A and B are shown apart, each in its own frame.
Chain A
Amino acid sequence: MQSNRVRRTSHALGGLWRTATAISALLLTFACGSEFDSISQLEGLRVMAVQKDHPYAKPGEKVELQMLYHDTGVRKAGQAEGPARPVSIVWLSGCVNPPSDLYALCLQFYRQAFSAAGVDGSLSDLNAAQAGQLLMVAQRLGIGFGQGDKFELTVPHDIISSHPPSNDPKQPPYGLNYVFFAACAGELRFDSKGDFPVACYDAQGKQLGARDFIAGYTGVYSYESIGNDNPVILGLDVAGKAVPAERLCIGTACEPLPSDPKRKCAADDPVVKRCKDPDNTGSCAKLALKVKVDPKSVEPDGTLTLRQGSLVQEQMWSNFHTDRGKFTHDVALVNDTTTGFNKKPETDYLAPSVAGPAQIWAVVRDNRAGVQWARTQVCVKD
C-alpha cells in the first residue's frame, strides 16, 4: 500500500527510553487517514532535483548547478498535456554557514538585503539603477544571483575555517553554502516582506501558489578531503525490458521538455492500456519499472568511514515521477548502509485514464547530496 501522507514529528520527547518507546508507539498507533496525490504525480510546475557537478565541493572550487523541472501546463479534461508556459527560474546564493546550519535563518538575511537595496518588485521591471544597487548590495553581502535552469557559484576559500567547530570532535571540519532557488510559471518578483524573498505572479498580478511556484534550497557542503560523485544510472527497465538508449536520456542530456498537447506516442514506446476505472487502481494495467544503477557508484560515506575506521557505504534511493498516472511506490531503495545494494530498486507504473504519451523520471539520490536522473516515455493506449 502506498502512503501519501506526511506527518511532522519534530517535537522532541525527553527521555531516551521514552523516545524509543514513542517510536514504537508511532509504528502501532495511527491507522487511518486521507489519501492525497503523491509527490510522484506531477501536476503543474514541479522541481524534481538540483544536481551539482561536485556534490561536495572544495573551498575555492566552482560548482555548476542544474535544475530538473517539468511543467504539465494547465490540462483540460481528457487532455494528456496542457499548453506550454514560460518558466522563470531564479537562484540566490551567499548564505554561508548560517547559525546552527539552519537554512531558515538565511531567509531573513535575504529579506534584509533586498530591503536595504530598495528592491521590491518584478525582476523584469528592475531598472538599471535598481539592478545596479542590487548587484552592489549582493556583492557586498556575498550574495550570488542568477536566472535560468543552470547556476554557478564559487565556494568561498574560508568556508571551512569560518564554520564554527562542531561539538563532535570526530566531525570532519566542513562548511555549508546554501543555494536557494525559485521556479515560477509566471512572473517572479522580489518580496522583502514575505517569508520567502521571491514570489510568483500571473499576468493579472495575482500571486500564484504551489501548483505554479516552487521555492526551495540545496546545500553545498565543503570538506577538505572528502568528496562525493553523483550516482551513475546505467539505464531503465520497463516491463522487464531495457529501454533503448535512444528512448532514454540521462542527467544533463535531458533537456527541459515543454508540455505539448499534440505530443504523440513513439512507435517503440512501451505500451500500457489506459485505466478505465481510475478509482479502482487495482484494476489498472501496470508496467514494471526498474532503475539500473552502477553499484560502483555507491561510494564510501567519507565522514562515517573516517569515524568508524571501517568502510561505511552511503545510502542511496530512487524517486520516481510521472506527468500522468501513478506508481505503487514513490521511492525505491538502491543501497542500504546496513544491508548493501538492492538489486531490485523497482516500482510499478499504473496507467492513467487518458490515452497518450506519459513521461517517467527516475531520480537517484545518495544521502550526501549526490543526484542523477533519467527520463523515458511510455505510451498509454485505449
Chain B
Amino acid sequence: MIVPPRLVYFQEAVFPPEAKATHLEAEVQLRLVIGVDGSVTKAEVLQPAGHGLDEAALEAAQHFVFTPAQRDGVSVAAAIQYLYRFSAQGAQEGVDLGTEPTGGNLEGIILITDVELPLVNATVRLKAANGTEYETHTDDKGRWSFTELEPGPYHVSVSALGYEPMNADEEVEAGQATAVTYRVAPPSEGLEIVVQGERPPREVTKRTLLRREVSRVPGTGGDALRSLQSLPGVARPPGLAGLLIVRGSGPQDTNTYVDGVLVPLIYHFGGLSSVVPTELLDRIDFYPGNFSAKYGRVMGGIVDVGLRSPDTECRDAKGAPTGKNNCVHGLAQVDLIDTRVLVQAPLGNDWSMAIAGRRSWVDLWLKPVLESAGAGVTAAPVYFDYQLILERKPSKNSKFRAQFYGSDDTLKIIINNPSAQEPGFGGQLAFSTAFYRAQAIYEQKLAPKWDLYSTLAVGRDVVHFGIASAEFRLDAGGIELRNEIGYQAAHWLKFNAGLDFLTVPVFVHVRAPEPPRPGEPDPGPFTSRPVLETKDKTTAFRPAWYLEAEANPTKRWSIVPGARVDFARDTGHASFDPRVNTRYNLRGGDASGDRRTTVKAGVGLFSQPPQFQETDAVFGKVGLYSNHSMHVSVGVEQEISRQVEVSLEGYYKNLYNLVSRAPGLDGTFDYNNEGSGKVIGAETLIKYKPDDRFFGWIAYTLSRSTRKDAPNADQYLFQFDQTHILTALGSYRMGHGWEVGARFRLVSGNTYTPVLNGIPALYAADAGSYTPLQGKPFSKRLPLFHQLDLRVEKNWQFQDWRLMTYLDVWNAYNNAAVEDIQYNFNFTKSAPQTGLPIIPSMGVRGEF
C-alpha cells in the first residue's frame, strides 16, 4: 500500500515586480521529487508561465517540506506534479496534481544460451548503489521482475545450479520499466567462445561453441582455432597444414581477422598451433559463406577472432564470483610443442590489462632430427607469439581498448646434401614469417539510437624464404581502419553503415624461376631454368564502404539486406556486391518452450582482388581485375530436444572472372580473368550442446568443387575438392576431474595430378634429375582418409588455483593415411606416402 506525500510547509514565491505590476495571473506546473525525509530533492518545470514566474516557483518549491510517501509503512521517495499559482494577490499555495510513479521497474527473462529455453527457478539478486539488496526467482517462463525500485544504478547477479553465474549492471529510471534478456550458459570455466557457423550476418543466426568445447576437441592439443577444421563445410588440409579450405574455396579465399583487423596467418609453421592462444580468445566468428557486407575482399569464408577483455573478477574457492573486480589471474602451460604464460590484472581507474607470451621448443627435438639427416642447423625452427591488452571501461556505454600482438617463426638450416630431384636447392635455407599489430578499439553508445564501433591498427608483415639463388621477401606495413555507425531507426529496423580502409605499403622481392600453374606442362627442375626477378614497391590502397539494414518485420522474420563497394587502387578496379540474408522461425525461438524450427537463406556477390604476384609485371600480368563469386545458400535448423539441434544447409557458389592461366593459341601460358568454377554442396550438423557431462557433434559435408581455366578449356576438379567430409566428436566428464574425448574423421582423399604411366620420365641433364610427363591436373584421388584422435584430461582444484594435465593422442590406431604419392627417381615406381603416425602429446597447466 502506498501513501502519497503531503505538503506540511509551503514557501511563498517572490512575485517578480514586473509581473506583479501588470497584475499577471499564471500557473507554473512543477515536478517535485520528495526524498524519504520529506524534503524536495529535485524540482523541475513541466509547463512554464514565463515572465520570471518559473524561476520564482522553482526557488520556492526547493523549500517545501512534505510528509514522506510510504510504501507498506516504509518511507520511500516519491515524485509529484504540483501546480503553483500566481494571482494578482500574490503567490498562492498551489495544487498537488497527484503522485507520480517514483520508482522504476526492472524485469526480464533468463534464457539458456544457445538453446534459447527459459531458465526456471534461477535466483536473481539486485544490489542498489546504497547497498540495499533484493532477491527473486524466475518463474516457469524464465521471467522475473522488481517493481518500484529507487531510480539509480543496480548490479544484477543471476545464479542457478549447473549454470555459469551471470552479472550485469542496469540503470533504473523513475516511471520507466527496464526490460532485459539475459542468457546464461552451462559451466565453461568462466569463458565463452562463440563460433558462429554460417552466420547469416548481424545475428540473424548463430551457432555457439563454448570454450569447454573448442579447448577440448581431441587432436587439436586444446587449440581453439584448429578446432575450426572440425566444423561442417571445412575440408581437411593435408597433414598438419593449417590451411582453411572452406566450402570448396582455396586457402587464399578465406581471410582471418583479429577484432576486425586482417592478419596474415593464424597458425605457426603452417599448422602446429595458432598464433593467438586459446586462453586469450573471447570468441571466434566463423562465416563459411554469405557473410555480412562488413567483410569483403575474399570469396571464401571469414574467421574473425576476438581477444578477450582482461579477467579481473574475483572468485571464491568454488569459482563463484565474489562481486569484486580487482583480482589478478595467471596461467602457465607447458606441453611438448611450446610453453605459455598469461597474466591478467586490474590497473585502477577502470583500467585492466592482460599480457601473454608463448615460445615453442620444437627446436630442442627437431634440431637433432635435422642434423641426423645431414643438415647443418644455423637457427633451429622456433616460434613465439605475444599479446598485450589494455582496456578501460569508463561506463557501460563505452569501451576503449589498446592491444598489441604478433607472431614470429624462424628456421635457418644449411643443406649440405641437397635432394637429388632439385640438387640446386642446397646450401642455406632460410625461412621466417613475422607480423605484429598495434590496434586501438573504441566502442561508444553515442545516443539511445546511435552506436559507434571504431578500430585503427598499424602493423607490419614480413615473410622471407631463401634457398640457393631463389629468394622471396615480402615486407608490408599497413594501416587498417574500420568504422561502423549503427542507427536504430525503429524497434524493428536498424541501419549499419561502415567503412573498411586498408592501406598497405608493400615491398616484394622475388627471385625465382617462373612457378608452374595447374594444367601447365612441367617446366622441369627449377635448377636448370633462368630466374626472373621482381622488386616491387607499391602501396595497396583498398577502401570499402558498406551499408546494411537489420530488419525484423515480424517477430519470426528477420532480413538483412546490404551492399558493399570495394575499390582496389593497385588494380584500378571497383566492385559492387549486394547481399541479402534472411531467417524465418516457423515455430519456437521464444519463451513458448516450443522446439525451434528455422528456415534461412542467403544470396550475395563477393569479390576478391587478384593476388599480388598475379598482377606483378614480371611474374604475373598487369591489368587483371577482381575474382567474383555468387553465393546462394538455403537451410533449416531444427531443435530436436533441449540439448540436440540439427541443421542442414545447401550451398552453391558460382565463381567467375577468376584469375587463371590458360594456354593461348601458340601454346604460351598467360594470366587472364577467364577462369570460372562451380561449388555445390550440402552440410549438416547434428549437435549435442554442452551440459554438465557431455558435448559433441557430427558434421557431414557433401560437396563438389570444379574449375575451368578458360571458357573452352576442360573442367577439372579443384585441388582441394573433398566429396565427403565426416567428423564425429564428443567429450564426456567422468567425474573426479576426469574427462575423456574422441574425434573420428572420415574424409575423401585429396586430389593429385598423376604421372603418366608407361611413359619414361625425361632426364633433365642440366639438373641431373628426371621430369615426368603429367596427366590431367588433379584427376586422381588419394584413398579415403580416416583417423581417430583421443584426449584424456584430469583436473585438480585447490584452494586458490587449479591444475590440469592432458594427453592428446593423434591418430590413435596409427592409420597409415595416404597424404601423397611418392615416386622413385625416374618415376617408374610409385608408392603411397603416408602421414603422421600415432603421436601422443602431453600438457600441464596451472592457473589461478
A interface residue numbers (CB < 8 A to B) = 1-8, 10-34, 36-40, 47-50, 98-105, 166-168, 170-171, 174, 181, 194-196, 209-210, 213-219, 221, 301, 303-304, 307, 312, 315, 317, 319, 329-333, 336-339, 342, 344, 347, 363, 365, 367, 369, 371
Top 4 nearest A-B pairs (CB, nearest first) are: A336-B427, A216-B763, A25-B270, A29-B239
The answer to whether B835 touches A32 (Cβ under 8 A) is yes
The answer to whether A25 touches B373 (Cβ under 8 A) is no
Question: What chain B residues lie within 8 Å of A20 (beta carbons)?
Answer: 431, 433, 463, 465, 472
Instruction: Indicate whether A21 sits within 8 Å of B824 (C-beta atoms), given known contacts A29-B819, A369-B528.
Output: no
The answer to whether A210 touches B826 (Cβ under 8 A) is yes
The answer to whether B469 touches A29 (Cβ under 8 A) is no
- Whole-angstrom distance between the alpha carbons of A177 and B469 in the complex? 23
What residue in chain A is nearest B659 (Cβ atoms)? A14
Beyond A17-B265, A307-B511, 7 additional contacts (C-beta under 8 Å) are A7-B822, A47-B765, A99-B666, A218-B764, A307-B533, A319-B420, A333-B418
The answer to whether B824 touches A8 (Cβ under 8 A) is no
- Whole-angstrom distance between the alpha carbons of A332 and B472 in the complex? 24
The answer to whether A49 touches B765 (Cβ under 8 A) is yes
- Whole-angstrom distance between the alpha carbons of A167 and B243 in the complex? 31
10 A-B pairs, CB-CB below 8 angstroms? A32-B837, A34-B832, A36-B831, A39-B420, A39-B769, A50-B766, A102-B523, A218-B765, A333-B415, A337-B468
Let me know if B517 is at the binding interface, CB within 8 A: yes
Question: What chain A residues lie within 8 Å of B591 (beta carbons)?
Answer: none
Instruction: Indicate whether A21 sits within 8 Å of B753 (C-beta atoms), given known contacts A210-B826, A317-B426, A339-B428.
Output: no
The answer to whether B762 touches A17 (Cβ under 8 A) is no
Instruction: Tell me the chain B residues, 267-292 only, with Cβ under 8 Å from chain A.
Output: 267, 269-272
Question: Which segment, of B119-127, B147-155, B178-186, B609-617, faces chain A?
Answer: B609-617
- Whole-angstrom distance between the alpha carbons of A194 and B773 in the complex? 12
What residue in chain B is nearest A48 (Cβ atoms)? B768
Instruction: Indicate whether A31 sits within 8 Å of B518 (C-beta atoms), given known contacts A16-B611, A21-B433, A315-B424.
Output: no
Instruction: Tell me the chain B residues, 374-414 only, with Cβ under 8 Å from chain A.
Output: 374, 381, 409, 411, 414
Number of A-B residue pairs having CB atoms within 8 Å of each other in the complex: 326
The answer to whether A337 touches B409 (Cβ under 8 A) is no
Q: Within the complex, which residue of B264, B414, B833 is in contact with A17, where a contact is CB–CB below 8 Å? A: B264
Q: Within the complex, which residue of A25, A102, A168, A333 is in contact with B427, where a contact is CB–CB below 8 Å? A: A333
Let me know if B668 is at the binding interface, CB within 8 A: yes
- Whole-angstrom distance between the alpha carbons of A170 and B534 in the complex? 9
The answer to whether A329 touches B823 (Cβ under 8 A) is no
Instruction: Indicate whether A331 sits within 8 Å of B423 (C-beta atoms), given known contacts A13-B251, A319-B768.
Output: yes
Q: Within the complex, which residue of B521, B529, B756, B766 is in contact with A365, where a contact is CB–CB below 8 Å? A: B766
Question: What chain B residues lie within 8 Å of A2 (beta carbons)?
Answer: 417
- Whole-angstrom distance between the alpha carbons of A72 and B669 in the complex? 42
The answer to whether B827 touches A31 (Cβ under 8 A) is no
Instruction: Indicate whether A10 sits within 8 Å of B241 (C-beta atoms), given known contacts A166-B532, A330-B420, A336-B427.
Output: no
What residue in chain A is nearest B417 (Cβ atoms)? A329
The answer to whether B533 touches A6 (Cβ under 8 A) is no
Contact with A along B531-561 (1 / 0, CB 8 A): 1111000000000000000000000000000
Question: What chain A residues lie within 8 Å of B762 (beta carbons)?
Answer: 103, 196, 215-217
What residue in chain A is nearest B517 (Cβ atoms)? A12
The answer to whether A333 touches B416 (Cβ under 8 A) is yes
- Whole-angstrom distance between the alpha carbons of A213 and B832 in the complex? 26
Question: What chain B residues lie within 8 Å of A307 (beta carbons)?
Answer: 511, 533
The answer to whether B243 touches A22 (Cβ under 8 A) is yes
Let me know if B619 is at the binding interface, CB within 8 A: yes
Least distance between B95 CB and chain A CB atoms (Å): 77
Question: What chain A residues lie within 8 Å of B529 (beta carbons)?
Answer: 101
Let me know if B201 is at the binding interface, CB within 8 A: no
- Whole-angstrom distance between the alpha carbons of A40 and B469 in the complex? 25
Question: What chain A residues lie within 8 Å of B523 (beta carbons)?
Answer: 100-104
Least distance between A212 CB and chain B CB atoms (Å): 10
Let me know if B118 is at the binding interface, CB within 8 A: no
Question: What chain B residues lie within 8 Å of A210 (beta carbons)?
Answer: 760-761, 826, 828
Contact with A along B224-267 (1 / 0, CB 8 A): 00000000000000111111000000111100000000001101
Question: What chain A residues lie within 8 Å of B829 (beta carbons)?
Answer: 36
The answer to whether B409 touches A24 (Cβ under 8 A) is yes
**Could you say which of A16, A33, A304 has the most chain B C-beta atoms within 10 Å of its C-beta?**
A16
Let me know if B667 is at the binding interface, CB within 8 A: yes
The answer to whether B753 touches A16 (Cβ under 8 A) is no
Question: What chain A residues lie within 8 Å of B836 (beta carbons)?
Answer: 29, 31-32
- Whole-angstrom distance between the alpha carbons of A371 and B765 in the complex? 9
The answer to whether A16 touches B613 (Cβ under 8 A) is yes
Q: Within the complex, which residue of A28, A216, A303, A369 is in contact with B270, where a contact is CB–CB below 8 Å? A: A28
Let me know if B618 is at the binding interface, CB within 8 A: yes
- Whole-angstrom distance between the alpha carbons of A203 and B469 in the complex? 47
Question: What chain A residues lie within 8 Å of B534 (beta carbons)?
Answer: 168
Let me know if B755 is at the binding interface, CB within 8 A: yes
- Whole-angstrom distance between the alpha carbons of A294 and B409 in the complex? 38
Question: What chain A residues lie within 8 Å of B250 (beta carbons)?
Answer: 13-14
The answer to whether B431 touches A23 (Cβ under 8 A) is yes
What residue in chain B is nearest A307 (Cβ atoms)? B533
Question: What chain A residues lie within 8 Å of B753 (beta carbons)?
Answer: 8, 10-11
Question: What chain B residues lie within 8 Å of A304 (beta carbons)?
Answer: 469, 511, 531
Question: What chain B residues lie within 8 Å of A209 (beta carbons)?
Answer: 760, 828
Q: Within the complex, which residue of B532, B764, B770, B819 is in contact with A168, where a contact is CB–CB below 8 Å? A: B532
The answer to whether A34 touches B822 (Cβ under 8 A) is yes
Instruction: Indicate whether A171 sits within 8 Å of B532 (C-beta atoms), given known contacts A210-B760, A315-B468.
Output: yes
The answer to whether B428 touches A338 (Cβ under 8 A) is yes
The answer to whether A33 touches B834 (Cβ under 8 A) is yes
- Whole-angstrom distance between the alpha carbons of A329 and B826 in the complex? 17
The answer to whether B833 touches A5 (Cβ under 8 A) is yes
**Could you say which of B381, B424, B764, B834 has the most chain A C-beta atoms within 10 Å of its C-beta?**
B424
Let me know if B99 is at the binding interface, CB within 8 A: no
Instruction: Indicate whether A22 sits within 8 Å of B241 (C-beta atoms), given known contacts A315-B468, A367-B424.
Output: yes
- Whole-angstrom distance between the alpha carbons of A20 and B419 in the complex? 20
Q: Within the complex, which residue of A21, A105, A329 is in contact with B374, where a contact is CB–CB below 8 Å? A: A329
Q: Within the complex, which residue of B411, B669, B764 is in contact with A100, where a contact is CB–CB below 8 Å? A: B669
Least distance between B765 CB and chain A CB atoms (Å): 4
The answer to whether B668 touches A214 (Cβ under 8 A) is no
- Whole-angstrom distance between the alpha carbons of A312 and B766 in the complex? 20
- Whole-angstrom distance between the alpha carbons of A196 and B832 in the complex? 27
What residue in chain B is nearest A50 (Cβ atoms)? B765
Least distance between A123 CB and chain B CB atoms (Å): 18
Let me know if B515 is at the binding interface, CB within 8 A: yes
- Whole-angstrom distance between the alpha carbons of A74 and B374 in the complex? 34
Let me know if B530 is at the binding interface, CB within 8 A: yes
Question: What chain A residues lie within 8 Å of B433 (beta carbons)?
Answer: 17, 20-21, 24
- Whole-angstrom distance between the alpha carbons of A174 and B530 in the complex? 10
- Whole-angstrom distance between the alpha carbons of A171 and B521 in the complex? 23
- Whole-angstrom distance between the alpha carbons of A210 and B824 in the complex? 12
Question: What chain B residues lie within 8 Å of A214 (beta carbons)?
Answer: 760, 763
- Whole-angstrom distance between the alpha carbons of A11 and B774 in the complex? 12
- Whole-angstrom distance between the alpha carbons of A181 and B381 in the complex? 43
Q: Within the complex, which residue of B516, B756, B765, B833 is in contact with A32, where a contact is CB–CB below 8 Å? A: B833
The answer to whether A14 touches B822 (Cβ under 8 A) is no
Instruction: Indicate whether A312 sits within 8 Å of B763 (C-beta atoms), given known contacts A6-B825, A336-B428.
Output: no
Question: What chain A residues lie within 8 Å of B667 (beta carbons)?
Answer: 98-100, 102, 105
Instruction: Indicate whether A337 sits within 8 Å of B469 (C-beta atoms), given known contacts A4-B824, A16-B612, A102-B523.
Output: yes
Instruction: Indicate whether A168 sits within 8 Å of B533 (C-beta atoms), given known contacts A7-B833, A15-B611, A331-B420.
Output: yes
- Whole-angstrom distance between the alpha carbons of A262 and B822 in the complex? 38
What residue in chain A is nearest B372 (Cβ atoms)? A1
What residue in chain B is nearest A167 (Cβ atoms)? B618
Least distance between A91 CB and chain B CB atoms (Å): 12
Question: What chain B residues lie within 8 Å of A365 (beta carbons)?
Answer: 423, 766-768
Contact with A along B439-475 (1 / 0, CB 8 A): 0000000000000000000000101011011001010
Least distance between B421 CB and chain A CB atoms (Å): 5
Question: What chain A residues lie within 8 Å of B819 (beta carbons)?
Answer: 29-30
